[in-house]
Amino acid sequence: MSQNLQAVSSPPSITSAVSLSPGKPKEPSQLPLAAIQGTHLVPGAFPALPPKPTLPKVFAPSQPREALTRYPWKLDIVTTVFWIGELPTPGNPVPNTVSAWDKRWTSNYGGYDNPDPETRDGFLPKEFTPGQNPFYFALPYNDIGKSGTKASAQAIPWYDEAFYRNGRTILKGRWIAIRMGGKVCYAQWEDVGPFETDDWDYVFGNARPKTRGNKGAGLDVSPAVRDYLEFGTGFGFVDWRFVDVDEVPDGPWKQHGANNPFANSSLDGDATMTASESILRVGELRDRLMASLDNPANEGGE
């Protein structure tokens, strides 16, 4: 199909706003065309733009994804260490024998997750193999209140796609990336804190943590996360962000736990399964794990 294009001289307002590289002038046929005042086209008026990158539908990373993510980093967050089975202290009046969503947290985990480095073997307690993922964390928001799902839960980025029943959390088991120095660790959401339970503007928005306890801590992490990131003390400054399941790279956080879809035995034994199929399978398994909360034997706390 032929086109009738009329080339005209560039108006002063266009040529004065565009700086072309010095050297041999390009032929008009080599320059992009830009529309000026309706049907007139001027060669070389604007540079051609490269195609915009698009987010792949399936992504199986071996390294953390640093771009093309829907969740931004939260920077310089004071982070403290907590552990399953921790008893209350003057500085931490809430026991961690149960979680916000699991009344049998300690027994489901398999015992006391002793933080003492002398009692640990790598990222695990020496005395038992955990029944749940030892890479866990707490953030100061609970989507469940005494009367059911909170209205503020609609601020959760995945609310529309994940909500399935009033009074059932859509937070438990979600993954975050935690960055400290040059290392990035991954962990699952298993409790609420530190101190606050309704700080949704920080967890899902742009605010800083509103608590003043523990130097304004906005994140609690397990001993395994502490050891991977090499805190060295009970406090650390980290960056963190939510990640989708297809962003979680290989690492020790994939190896243990009935609540961990990557460690589920249903993923084993099929050597023909592609990376894309594995990711879809992990998503299905996570949905089953969340639905299993409807079982009275797994009822969590409100």
Q: Which secondary structure element, helix H or strand E, spans residue 120, and what is its range?
A: strand 120-121
Q: Decide: 241 and 176 in contact? Cβ < 8 Å.
A: yes
Exposed e or buried b for every residue in 115-149, given b needs 16+ CB within 10 A? beeeebeebbbeeeebebbbbbbbbbbbbbeeeeb
The whole-angstrom separation of Cα 106 and Cα 125 is 13
pTM of the predicted protein model: 0.70
**Residues forming beta bridges with residue 176, ordered by sequence position:** 187, 242
Q: What is the pLDDT of residue 233?
A: 75
Q: Which of 127-131, 143-147, 171-175, 268-272 has the lowest mean pLDDT?
A: 268-272
pLDDT one-digit tens code per residue, 10-33: 444 433 333 334 444 444 444 444
3-state secondary structure of 175: strand
Q: What is the mean pLDDT of the chain?
A: 78
Structure tokens at 46: 């604007």
Average pLDDT over residues 68-92: 89
H-helix or E-strand spanning residue 226:
helix 223-229
Question: What pLDDT digit, counting tens, does each position of 88-110 carry?
Answer: 887 777 889 999 999 999 999 99
Terminus-to-terminus CA distance in the chain, angstroms?
A: 68
Task: Please name every residue paired with 177 in a beta bridge, in sequence order, or none if there are none.
Answer: 186, 241
- Matching CATH number, 74-298, of 3.10.20.740, 2.60.40.10, 3.40.50.920, 2.40.40.10: 2.40.40.10
Query: Who wins on pLDDT, 276 or 235?
Result: 235
What is the C-alpha to C-alpha distance for residues 219 and 231, in angstroms, rounded to an integer?
A: 14
Tell me what pLDDT residue 51 has: 52
Enter the DSSP assignment of 227: H
Share of the chain above pLDDT 70, in %: 65
Give per-residue burial for 231-241: e unless 16+ CB within 10 Å, then b: beeeebebbbb
The residue written with tokens 């390294």 in the block is 63
Lowest mean pLDDT among 53-62, 166-175, 247-256, 284-293: 53-62
Q: Report domain extents, the chain.
A: 1-49, 74-298
Q: Tell whether the torsion through CA atoms of 27, 33, 35 and 36 is positive or negative.
A: negative
User: What's the pLDDT score for residue 34?
Assistant: 43
